[in-house]
Amino acid sequence: MMKPKISIIVPIYNVEKYLEKCISSLLNQTFSDFELILVNDGSPDNCGKICDSFKEKDSRIKVLHLENGGVCRARNKGMELSSGDFYVFVDSDDWVEKDYLKDFVDNIEDDYTMIQQEFYRDFPSRTSSFELGHQNKTYDLRTEFDKMITENKIIFAGFVWNKLFSAKIIKQNKILFDGSTLLADDEEFCLKYLEKIHKVHNVSKANYHYIDNPNSITKRKLTFEMEWKRFLFQTKYFDFVRKNYSLGNLAQEYISRLNFERFEHSIYRKYIVNQLKEATERLKTISKYKKMFMNDLLKNAKKSRLVEYTLLKYSLYLPLKTMLSIKAQK
């Protein structure tokens, strides 16, 4: 297979502190046949100027300046502008090792094989390898899906930046990042793509440095509605896996456990158990103040109002008043 052209798509917003290192690491790749598409998503800092400055120095760079519309729209616009055979997506506050592209390209078999690499997670005080448990091998999803799960203990990791995607598959199936679904959009994109391919190749080497940046444009606080839609989408995908691939007992158990754990931690504990605890604590506080204010009122009330206030203390005043009013109307 001829060496393909790679399109690197980088959505950018408010990352002036990290951007130069990100772009420099991409321009320093050992595989050089690529285009770098920098999508400035209306960043209020100097990111736009930094992008334009790099473009003047390297003809492989394309810069697109947009009004702020979110990371999904930025990535989609980047794909529209691209001319490569394959896509990689890089977050603008992260950086990559020099063989990041080479290790993708060296393992390309065809358009129907998705390649994913291990990666590093960089914290302010340390760097650690994120172990996906990948063995360096290819799995045919039509015959080895069960084997891939049991050997790697993972179906996929729902990040786009450690994967190589075929432009042909994406264009033919009109796969886009859909921010309107309020999901973890990386995960949805990967699942839709996984439905259309035949193989997954795992690269055990780590080349990508994911920076633990709380202000990243790809991070957001998920609401219950987001988490619920995300859970339903994952459940739908697992149903697709069960219907289309031959799975043994271990793989079936693993998928069932993933479903249960996602529901238990992302839905049940987070939104039911925790909120019940919070509600109980609020009720204790409210009851405490109600009792304090009521006792103070009874202490200082006129004798003629004591009965009324005593009923109010036990939440009986309004029901009794309503009942007497109805009775008087008859």
**Hey, what are 304's tokens?**
């003629």
Residue 178 confidence (pLDDT): 84
Q: How many residues does the chain have?
A: 330
CB 192 within 8 A of CB 240: no
Label residues 289-310 b or e (16+ Cβ within 10 Å = b): eeeeeeeeeeeeeeeeeeeeee
The reported pTM is 0.74
Q: What is the pLDDT of residues 218-250, one digit of tens each?
A: 455 666 666 777 777 777 777 777 777 777 776
CATH number for region 6-219: 3.90.550.10
User: Chain centroid to CA 143: how far?
Assistant: 29
In the chain, where are the structural domains located?
6-219, 248-330
**Tokens 């990559």 — which residue?**
96
Across the chain, which has 330 residues, the per-10-residue mean pLDDT values are 88 95 98 97 96 97 95 95 96 96 94 91 70 74 79 67 95 89 70 88 90 61 68 74 74 71 65 67 71 68 59 52 52
Q: What is the pLDDT of residues 118-169, one digit of tens each?
A: 888 887 766 666 655 566 888 888 888 777 777 765 555 578 999 999 999 9
CA–CA distance, 30 with 26 (Å, rounded to integer) = 10
Host H or E run for residue 65: strand 61-66
